[in-house]
Amino acid sequence: MESSHAVIVAIRFIYIFLSFLNNVQCHNSDEHNLDNLLCKQCGNTIASTHDIRSFSSKLAIKHWNQTLLNIPNVLVQLFENPHKMRFNVITLSNANVYMHEQVYNTDTWFPNYSWSMSVCSKCGTHLGWKYQPTNFNHITHYKNETFFGLILDKLLEEHLSDTLLLVPNSYKS
């Protein structure tokens, strides 16, 4: 009888230990998931904390720092386009977006940089712009000289994503 009791105790111990491990793993993955910026329209992952990088412009109407993805002091700049539309823009070294091929040199918010439209790679929503040095080419320039300006209001921090209204794919026609 004693040996069967010992087996039960051992099984319980293993069960508790495995539950503990499982909780630890869940906790870690939750923490990892807090690091992303999502497309507010469809929930697609657009960027992570390590993509955020400050590129300041003197052409910003206004600029300030705010906490984003638990990073304090992320630079946000307010820009206005020729149609008088205003955008709160954050800058990033990389982003999961689709870039239009057409590159423009005029009406740029970053002097000496050209821009092209960037849209969500999943739903096609306009999310911002890619910037590259004017006359950029892959021989005289490095990829890290390019950056993205994304519209803050079109993005959602993943830890706030329970406010996102997602329609399951199976419901879409």
Strand partners, 141: none
Strands (DSSP E) contained in 44-112 are 45-48, 62-68, 71-80, 86-92, 97-99
Q: Does 36 interact with Zn ion (rule: CB under 5 A)?
A: no
Which of 35, 37, 41, 149 binds Zn ion (CB under 5 A)? It is 41
Q: Does 120 interact with Zn ion (rule: CB under 5 A)?
A: yes
**How far apart are CB 97 and Zn ion at their closest, in Å?**
9
Q: Does 119 interact with Zn ion (rule: CB under 5 A)?
A: no
**How far apart are CB 38 and Zn ion at their closest, in Å?**
8
Is 65:159 a contact under the CB 8 Å cutoff? no
**Phi/psi of residue 146, each to 5°?**
-100, 155
Which of 39, 89, 99, 156 binds Zn ion (CB under 5 A)? It is 39
Using a 10 angstrom Cβ sphere, with 0-12 exposed, 13-18 middle and 19 or more buried, the burial of residue 90 is: buried
Q: Does 150 interact with Zn ion (rule: CB under 5 A)?
A: no
Q: Does 123 interact with Zn ion (rule: CB under 5 A)?
A: yes
Q: Which residues bind Zn ion (CB under 5 A)?
A: 39, 41-42, 44, 120, 122-123, 125
